[in-house]
Amino acid sequence: MSSIPVDVLTRISGLQGYERQLEVTSVAQQYGMAPEEVEAIANRFAKGAPQSSMAGFQPVANKEIPQIPSQAQQIPVDQMRFQYDPTDGAKKRRSQVDQAILCPACGVALGIPSQRPIKVTCPQCLHEALFQ
């Protein structure tokens, strides 16, 4: 039987309605379990049931969380490929891009203006960073 990490059970316990149903289905597929089993384990976890009575629940060893660098890696702007954007402001936004960086969290390329400070939210991973 697969184990479900505590952080996943905590995340499920904090959700309600359709969002919870989607997360339970996703976790069930990921751990090779039935959605009903995952729901039952999450409910017992939320009620604070002792771990020994939780069938299929085994704590996962603490993993070291990688540190996100404070500075983003810059890349040449000419390597940027803009996606087709038919909106009116797209040409203006593209003209403001004069720096390209890699997201510190996921590494996706981002085009940003040179104004500082600037708060950037990565569209790929939704990591927010403030650049000075």
The tens digit of pLDDT for each residue in 80-132 reads 766 777 788 888 887 888 888 888 888 888 888 888 888 888 888 888 888 87
Overall pTM surpassing 0.85 (yes/no): no
Secondary structure letter of residue 78 according to DSSP: G
Residue 51's pLDDT is what?
Answer: 45
Helix/strand/coil (H/E/C) assignment for every residue in 50-70: CHHHCCCCCCCCCCCCCCCCC
CA pseudo-torsion sign 31, 32, 35, 41: negative
Task: Please list the alpha-helical segments (H only) found in the chain.
Answer: 6-13, 17-31, 35-46, 90-96
Average pLDDT of every residue of the chain:
78
